[in-house]
């Protein structure tokens, strides 16, 4: 992490929510609010212009919702991390947001201290989940039990490092292997979990009890 401020963008269709977040974030020395959007479409335009580090994304909006906007942002700007900030925490919404590429999922009841910590973690590429969200992922449903996922010792170790937010180069250094081999281990882990990205891998690992919530 550099000494530069974390550039943040807020996406929410309620002005009062945006104003409340803006007021709180402006008081932080290591963060800078660079923009705010009232819709998914506006968020895409601003991301192209502003290149934020972290986007706080509402889910339910008129037109393009937060899930669709997150998917496009992550495809076009992979260095930009997206945290869902919403009132909804049903399993379908959480999993859809993770599949879209969000690195975290928080509820609007989150305290400002928790939000600050989550933004800093996301900036370091570390997945962040509200406790209620983790509980939702862990709760048993009426669906048939999902197949048991077992990981090799190497995959468990790779998962631990991935959850800690380490890059492939850092994972390689920690495991004592080449960057090419580290990329292979990460790809093999994602394939084993059926995940398309790191955040989704963490969500699946939580759901199956492969890591501590």
Q: Are residues 110 and 157 in the same domain?
A: no
Q: Are residues 38 and 61 in the same domain?
A: yes
Q: Residue 16 CB: number of other CB atoms within 10 A?
A: 8
Give tens-digit pLDDT for 71-106.
999 999 999 999 999 988 788 888 899 889 999 999
What is the distance of C-alpha 3 from the center of its chain? Answer: 22
Q: Are residues 166 and 198 in the same domain?
A: yes
Mean pLDDT of 180-208: 85
Q: Is the pLDDT higher at 29 or at 56? A: 56
Return d(Cα 97, Cα 106) in angstroms, integer. Answer: 11
Domain-ending residue, one of 111, 138, 165: 138
208 within 8 A of 149, measured Cβ to Cβ: yes
Number of compact structural domains in the chain: 2
pLDDT at 212: 58
**Given pLDDT bands bounded at 50, 70 and 90, which one contains residue 210?**
confident
Q: Are residues 38 and 134 in the same domain?
A: yes
Look at residues 34, 38, 40, 108 and name the one whose alpha carbon lies nearest to residue 72.
Answer: 40
Question: Is the pLDDT score of 157 beyond 50?
Answer: yes
pLDDT at 142: 46
Q: Are residues 26 and 127 in the same domain?
A: yes
Q: Is residue 73 part of a domain?
A: yes
On average, the pLDDT of the chain sits at: 87
CATH of the domain at 202: 1.10.10.10
Q: Is residue 147 part of a domain?
A: no
36 within 8 A of 22, measured Cβ to Cβ: yes
Give tens-digit pLDDT for 103-148.
999 998 888 889 999 999 999 988 888 888 877 777 644 455 556 7
Q: Are residues 34 and 107 in the same domain?
A: yes
Q: Is the pLDDT higher at 164 or at 116? A: 116
Phi, psi of 189 (to 5 degrees): -65, -45
137 within 8 A of 207, measured Cβ to Cβ: yes
What is the distance of C-alpha 97 from the center of its chain? Answer: 8
Sign (positive/negative) of CA torsion 200, 201, 204, 209?
negative
Return d(Cα 184, Cα 128) in angstroms, integer. Answer: 25
Range of the domain at 196: 153-207
13 within 8 A of 61, measured Cβ to Cβ: yes
Q: Is residue 178 part of a domain?
A: yes
3 state SS of 195: coil
């Amino acid at each position: 992490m550099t000494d530069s401020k974390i550039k943040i963008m807020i996406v929410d269709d309620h002005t009062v929510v945006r104003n409340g977040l803006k007021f709180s974030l402006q008081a932080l020395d290591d963060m800078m609010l660079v923009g705010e959007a009232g819709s998914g479409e506006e968020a895409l335009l601003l991301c192209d212009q502003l290149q934020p580090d972290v986007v706080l994304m509402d889910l339910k909006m008129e037109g393009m919702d937060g899930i669709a906007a997150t998917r496009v942002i992550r495809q076009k700007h992979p260095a930009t991390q997206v945290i869902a900030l919403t009132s909804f925490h049903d399993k379908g919404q959480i999993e859809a947001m993770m599949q879209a590429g969000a690195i975290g999922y928080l509820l609007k009841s989150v305290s400002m201290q928790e939000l600050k910590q989550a933004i800093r973690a996301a900036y370091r590429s570390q997945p962040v989940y509200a406790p209620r969200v983790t509980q939702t992922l862990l709760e048993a449903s009426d669906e048939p039990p999902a197949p048991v996922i077992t990981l090799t010792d190497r995959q468990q170790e790779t998962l631990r490092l991935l959850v800690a937010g380490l890059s492939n180069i850092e994972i390689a250094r920690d495991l004592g292997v080449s960057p090419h081999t580290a990329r292979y281990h990460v790809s093999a882990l994602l394939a084993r979990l059926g995940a398309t990205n790191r955040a989704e891998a963490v969500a699946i690992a939580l759901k199956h009890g492969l890591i501590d919530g």
